[in-house]
Amino acid sequence: MAKILARVCVRIDGINMKRVDKRGAGVDLGAVPWRVLNVSDQPLQLKLCLSGGQSFRWKYKEESDEWTGIVRGSVFKLKETKDGLLYQVLGSVHSTKPDSKVTRNATGIPNTQTEDERHESILKKYFRLDVDLKSLYEDWSKKDSIFKAAADKFYGVRMLAQEPVENLFSFICSQNNHITRISSMIEKLCSTYGQRICEDGEIIYYSFPSVDSLSSVEVESNLRELGFGYRAKFIQKSAAQIQEWGENEWFESLMKKPYKEAKSELIKLPGVGPKVADCICLMSLNHLEAVPVDTHVYQIAANLYLKHLKGRKSVTDAVYNEIGDHFRDMYGPLAGWAHTVLFCADLKKFEESGSKRISDETNKKTKRKKSN
């Protein structure tokens, strides 16, 4: 029954859309149907997954409780319901006809999946729905009482399986930056160098640029004019270097290498330090033991686990590695995923009325003990 439900086309309501073909001409799609992806046996919270600092291209519409974003060249609209995850496909770079049953890959070879099957497959892979998250939460809760305290409220935090190119350049943009500006910079990058996918009213959606489109020398000056600052050089130089190393083949080789070797290779790129390298390893290279350490993660570690680190003015390489190794020792090969749950629990943006950050609550308990 679940398999049947997963393929049911649910026409709840539609929106008039145009899909843009390779010549830029609009094709009227009429009402775009909602489809349902059955996730009843796998916990999933879109808010925690899509606005928790993993990806920066998802937009939330509060009045309709919908998320719109781009995954692997397709524009998705998502909505959580009791029946499952509802989704619309507003457009895709992989096809030009709304009634097309056969799509083609980048080399022009026909794919064997129908469009519906391909989009369903994209979402399942993106949210790693093949992973039994309930069992993982149970295991991590046994190992860590702090995790257990956060698990009930912060259920369904799934590690997104992102494309390495988008992941890497997005996190180069993230350095010394806040989420609103990061998102703005990424949209400028896409609208300037990406492929136009479709339009929704006044909004035009673009795919993420290819390595080739970002590697030309003039890209740096163009991005500086767009407000990217010093990141413009890092983007162009890294793209040129990745192109020289073989692009997709190079990324695939990093997936096959041990985690620390893959991280060392990434750090050779301009503008990629330990934290950015760990983000790429964790979010797009399937090295789920990678633990990116930023200010939030340092505070969680220093306040709750490694209290001898409290008061440090900076996170040195030694401290960074100690924190990562601590979580790896505690949680095992999926430590990066487990630590992301704690990261979400500590962010103020996910607080509800009356709730506290886990690190703040622990600090108060410590102060009360000292006063007694």
Residues belonging to the active site: 275
Are the CB atoms for 78 and 8 separated by under 8 Å? Answer: no
The token pair at 161 is 């399986």
Q: Is the distance from CB of 305 to CB of 319 less than 8 angstroms?
A: no
Cα distances from 25 to residues 208, 210, 239, in angstroms, run 20, 22, 30
Let me know: does 34 contact 86? Beta carbons within 8 Å.
Answer: yes
C-beta of residue 300 within 8 angstroms of C-beta of residue 346: yes
For residues 333 and 317, what is the distance between their CA atoms, to the nearest angstrom? 21
Closest to 171 (Cα-Cα) out of 73, 162, 212: 162
Which pair of structure tokens corresponds to residue 74? 């397709």
Contacts of 165 (CB under 8 A, 6+ apart): 208, 210, 211, 242, 251
